[in-house]
Amino acid sequence: MTGLDDVVRRYEAAALALKFDGQDTDPNADNPRVWATLGLGAVKIAWGYQGDFERCVALLRPHVDRPEGLCASYHRDLFGEVPKRATQAAKPDLPDGWDFDAESVEDALPTPDDEGSTDE
């Protein structure tokens, strides 16, 4: 067995330990693209609303070297094009009452009760 084989075996064991150690977290956390576009990251980014690209960059900046490129790639996956000023300006404002701690995008959307009663 070479030294390289030993290193590879060590990293495989470490990866397995981390995977099993983190089972109580988001199951998509081991796939950053799924986490950021469909999982809990998508809730925090609020894709499709004003400022989504900036929120993505701010969320990923502590974890990756070039968050702008990664967020542009995620944006292209979701909307078919990279973010541009014109397309960003055309997006609707983030709804008041958006729940950034929700378990899904559907749960993050404000309910009619959250927006106030319209009873006369």
Which of 17-21, 72-76, 79-83, 103-107 ranks highest by mean pLDDT?
A: 72-76
- Mean of pLDDT over the chain: 77
The per-residue pLDDT for range 37-71, each reduced to its tens digit, is 888 899 999 999 999 999 999 999 999 999 999 99
The per-residue pLDDT for range 8-25, each reduced to its tens digit, is 444 444 444 444 444 445
How far is Cα 63 from Cα 119, in angstroms, rounded to an integer?
47
Q: Looking at residue 31, what is its pLDDT?
A: 80
AA letter at 89: A
Which is it for the CA torsion 86, 87, 92, 98, positive or negative?
A: negative
If DSSP codes are grouped into helix, strand and coil, which group holds residue 93? coil
CB 96 within 8 A of CB 50: no
What the block records as the tokens of 53 is 């690209």
How far is Cα 18 from Cα 13, in angstroms, rounded to an integer?
9
Q: Among all chains, which residue has been given the structure tokens 């469909």? A: 38
pTM of the predicted protein model: 0.67
Q: Looking at residue 1, what is its pLDDT?
A: 53
pLDDT band at 86 (very low <50, low <70, confident <90, very high): confident
